[in-house]
């Protein structure tokens, strides 16, 4: 008993809300300092959001999606298509959330009864199907030409084409995802997802329905990603299948989360910044060769930090707070 209290006293944890506030405020300073690099900041932050959403299913529930471009695309196209009919982007986003949620629900209901890599394979297939639909159904998506945004209504008097406005909207999106991550850490859903990730049979023995837990995470992931897709459209001003619906987008989303550290709340955010900034620099300095550097970086992380950057850091912290002689066995 006394050992237990001394151990908890030894823990130096920052309260979640304080940590979240520090992170969000720090990122919020970016436009004030790097005002000339707004595009870089927005893309990194946006992909951080995509990766954070991916992590709900990929990190917490251990189901790897390699098709999240689908939800990015649905989010972007919903806003763009409805925009043509004079419907404001926020309503378009709501429609995107609904469509993504429904698609994830149907898709997950079909695939989550299978175990292992079947789900991942299905994500690649569905992503390709949706890309081909967007490419060929001209009446809906304008095919390979894609959709352009003309003018946009103002949101509470804010210009949605202003890069700073866009940055803070994306930051709001990321902050919501981080807050959701903190909630998951202590909530029943988060515990159930981790149980399913670790061992489905054990999870069932504790009264957890694995298919339902995974489905919930999948629907949430799809809906969150779709919001990001809508924001991406506002930032790009246009959308076409080759930008939003291609496999590299899906892969990048997954990699940022894996490299940063899956299931760690902040991992995907860290991954996006640590990979995003150098890859942009390499792209301008090295042109085509940047992909090589990018690839080497990924291999290094996977070999030396299999739990990702934040995951490895947390492990180090755990070992420091629980020295071996006190841990025993």
Partner 1 sequence: MLFEANQINVQFGGVKAVHNVSLTLQRGEILGLIGPNGAGKTTLFNALTGFVAKTGQVQLEGRDITNLPPFELPRLGVARTFQVERPFEDLTVLENVTISSFLRQTNAKAARNAALTTLERVGLLDRANQKCSELNLARRRRLEIAKALALEPRVLFLDEVIAGLNPPAQAEMIEFIRGLAKSGIGIVMVEHIMKVIMSLSDRVICMAFGEKIAEGTPQQIAQDPAVLDAYLGGIDD
Minimal distance in Å, beta carbon 215 to partner 1? 14
User: Nearer to partner 1 by C-beta: 3 or 288?
Assistant: 3
Q: Smallest distance, Å, CB 9 to partner 1?
A: 11
Considering beta carbons, is residue 204 or 302 the nearer one to partner 1? 204
Report the half-sphere exposure of 129 (CA within 13 A, side-chain side). 8
C-alpha distances in Å from residue 325, one per residue of 81, 319, 320: 63, 11, 11
Interface contacts to partner 1, rule CB under 8 A: 1, 3-4, 7-8, 11, 186-188, 191-192, 194-195, 198-199, 201-210, 318, 322, 327, 329
- Of 292, 273, 296, 274, nearest to 283 by C-alpha is 292
φ, ψ of residue 238 to 5 degrees: the values are -155, 165
In the complex, least distance from residue 256 CB atom to partner 1, rounded to whole angstroms: 21
Residue 247 CA, chain-centre distance (Å), reads: 15
Q: For partner 1, which is the closer residue by CB, 279 or 321?
A: 321
3-state SS of 158-169 is ECCCCHHHHHHH
Beta bridge partners, 239, equal 147
CA distance 178 to 44: 15
CA dihedral 174, 177, 182, 185 (to 10 degrees): -140
Q: Which is nearer to partner 1, 37 or 313 (CB)?
A: 313
Question: Which of 164, 322 has the CB closer to partner 1?
Answer: 322
198 vs 215: CA distance, rounded Å:
16
CB of 295 to partner 1, least distance (A): 28
| Minimum distance of partner 1 from residue 23's CB (angstroms) | 22
Q: Which is nearer to partner 1, 167 or 180 (CB)?
A: 180
Q: How far is the CB of 273 from partner 1 (least distance, A)?
A: 25
Structure-block tokens of residue 317:
């912290």
């Amino acid at each position: 008993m006394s050992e237990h209290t001394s151990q908890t006293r030894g823990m130096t944890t920052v309260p979640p809300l304080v940590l979240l506030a520090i992170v969000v405020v720090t990122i919020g300073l970016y436009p004030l300092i790097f005002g000339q690099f707004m595009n870089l900041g927005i893309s990194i932050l946006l992909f951080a959001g995509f990766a954070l959403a991916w992590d709900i299913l990929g990190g917490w529930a251990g189901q790897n999606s390699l098709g999240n471009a689908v939800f990015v695309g649905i989010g972007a196209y919903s806003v763009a298509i409805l925009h043509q009919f004079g419907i404001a982007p926020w309503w378009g986003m709501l429609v995107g959330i609904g469509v993504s949620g429904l698609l994830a629900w149907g898709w997950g209901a079909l695939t989550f009864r299978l175990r292992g890599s079947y789900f991942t394979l299905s994500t690649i297939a569905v992503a390709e199907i949706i890309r081909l639909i967007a490419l060929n159904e001209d009446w809906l998506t304008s095919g390979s030409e894609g959709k352009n945004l003309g003018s946009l209504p103002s949101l509470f008097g804010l210009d949605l084409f202003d890069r700073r406005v866009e940055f803070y909207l994306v930051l709001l999106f990321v902050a919501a995802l981080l807050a959701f991550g903190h909630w998951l850490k202590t909530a029943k859903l988060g515990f159930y997802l981790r149980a399913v990730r670790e061992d489905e049979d054990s999870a069932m023995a504790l009264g957890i329905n694995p298919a339902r837990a995974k489905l919930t995470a999948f629907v949430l992931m799809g809906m969150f990603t779709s919001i990001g897709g809508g924001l991406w459209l506002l930032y790009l001003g246009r959308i076409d299948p080759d930008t939003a619906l291609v496999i590299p987008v899906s892969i990048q989303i997954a990699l940022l989360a894996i490299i940063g550290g899956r299931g760690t709340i902040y991992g995907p955010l860290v991954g996006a910044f640590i990979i995003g900034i150098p890859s942009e620099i390499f792209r301008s300095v090295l042109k085509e060769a940047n992909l090589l550097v990018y690839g080497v970086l990924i291999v290094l992380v996977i070999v030396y930090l299999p739990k990702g950057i934040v995951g490895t850091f947390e492990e180090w912290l755990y070992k420091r707070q629980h020295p071996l002689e006190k841990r025993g066995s």
